[in-house]
Structure 1
Amino acid sequence: MCALKHIPAIVLAAGQSSRMRGADKLMQDVDGEPLIRRQCRIARQVCERVLVALPPAPHDRYTAISGLDVTPVPVADAAEGMGASLRTAFAALPKTARAALLLLGDLPDLTQDDLNTVIQAVDLNSETLIWRGTTSDGRDGHPIIFAKALFAQFAKLTGDLGGQSIVKSAGHRVARIALQGNRARNDLDTPEDWANWRALRD
C-alpha cells in the first residue's frame, strides 16, 4: 500500500461561484471557518503537500487560507473553467509525485477520515490508475486519486468538463471506495443549497 503522506493534494478553488448571485460559496462559514480554509486544512492533515488552485490575486480566498501550510497556485485563465485549474495545478505537482489526490473546494460534508479512507485504498503496485470516493449507494464523487501515468493527460484539458475524459480513459482500472451517505457528492452551488444544508444541520 502507498504511504499516504507521500501523495500530494490539489484543492480546486478557482471557480467563480457564478450561481451564488454575488456571494462566494468557498467563503461560506462552515463550523466557524471559511469553507476553502476547511478544505485546505483537512487535506493538509492527511497529505504532506497541498496545492490550492485559486483565481488570480487579489482575492479574498488568499486571505482565507493565510497561515496554513499550503501552496497557492494562481490560475491565470481561471474564467475558462475547471480545465484550466486542472491543467495549472497538475503542472505544479512535484516531479516526484507518484499519485495526486484531487479535492473539490465545495464539498463541506467530506471529512479528514473520508480522505484517509480513499488514500488507504491506494496500491501503486496494482493495475489500478484511479481511486475515487463514492456515495454509500455507489455514485461517483470525490476525492479522486490519480496515478502519475495519467498526469500528462491533464495538460490537454479545456473548458469546464473537469477530468471526466481522463476517468473514462482509465476504463476498468478505477477503484471505487464507498463513503458514508452523500458526502462524496454534496456540493453546494446556490444560496438555496446552503440554506437547506444549514437547516438540516440545525
Structure 2
Amino acid sequence: MAALVMAAGASSRFGGCKLLANINGRALLQHSIDTASGLLPDDVYVVTGAWHRELMEARRQGRLSGASFIHADAWSEGLSASLIAGIDYLERDYDAVLVLLADQVALDCSDLAQLLAAFDGNNIVCSFYAGRRGVPAVFGKQSFSRLKQLRGDQGAKAVLYESTLPVRVCPIPSASLDIDTPDQLIPLVRGP
C-alpha cells in the first residue's frame, strides 16, 4: 500500500504556499509526510502542482524529506486531475492507496492505522467527520478506474458515496481540521 498526499492546490485562501508554512519547526506538508511515514515509511508519495518548484527547492534544502514527489501537470483542472496523476503513477506497483490531504494537520498515525486495519482488500475505508464521509480513505485496485473517471474539482468523496464496493466508515474527528487561512495556524503553533 502507498500513501498519496494531495498537495497540488494553489492555496488561494491562504495567500501563499501553505504547504511550507512553519508549524513548530516543520513545514505543514512535512507533518502529513511524517504521519503517513509512521505506517508506510517507504511508500509515501506527494502530488504537487501549483507550488511544485517551491516544494522541490524545500526538498533540496532538506526542509521536506521522506516522500517521493509526483507532479500533476494538469493540477489547475481541479482536484480530480491531481488524484488521477497520483493513481496513474502508483497503480502499476500498488494494490491499494491511502489518500490524504496535505493540510489535515491534526491527523496522527493512530487515525491512519484505524483505516488500514479496516481495509480487507475488497472494500473502501474512509473517515467520517463533520457529518460526512471523506479522506483520508483507503482505495483498493478495484477502485482505481473509478477514481480516474473523476473530473474537475471532484475529489475522492464522490467515490465514497457512489461505490458499488462495500464502504467501511471510521469516525476520525481530527480529519475535520484542515488549514485554509493563516489564522487557522495560530492555535497550532506553540509559544517559546
- Structure 1's 110 and 58: CA in aligned 2 closer, same or farther, altered over 3 A? closer
Q: What is the number of equivalent residue pairs in this alignment?
A: 187
The residue number in structure 2 matching 1:185 is 176
The answer to whether the Cα contact below 8 Å between 1:78 and 1:85 also exists between their aligned partners in 2 is yes
2:43 is matched with which residue?
Answer: 49
- In structure 2, the gaps of 5 or more residues are none
Distance 2:104 2:51 in 1: 23
Aligned residue runs from structure 1 range 108-127, under 5 A? 108-124=105-121, 127=122
TM-score (norm 1): 0.82
Q: 2: CA distance between counterparts of 1:122 and 1:163?
A: 16
Percentage of identical aligned residues = 28
Q: What is the DSSP-based 3-state SS (H/G/I as helix, E as strand, rest coil) of the residue aligned with 1:12?
A: strand
Gaps of 5+ in 1: 1-6
Distance in 2, Cα, partners of 1:145 & 1:74: 21
Greater alpha carbon shift after TM alignment, 33-42 vs 159-168: 159-168
Aligned CA distance change for structure 1 residues 95 and 38 (closer, same or farther; 3 Å): same
Aligned to 1:3: none
* TM value normalised by structure 2: 0.86
Moved over 6 A (4+): none
Are 1:55 and 1:74, in contact at CA under 8 Å, matched by a contact in 2? yes
Distance 1:138 1:58 in 2: 33
- Structure 1 residue matching 2:81: 3-state secondary structure: helix
Q: Show CA shifts across 1:117-149 (max 9, x none).
A: 21112112xx5x2101223x7542331001110
The 2-side partners of 1:58 and 1:14 are apart by 8
Distance of aligned partners of 1:58 and 1:138 in 2 relative to their CA distance in 1, 3 Å threshold: closer
CA distance, structure 2, for counterparts of residue 49 and residue 150 of structure 1: 19
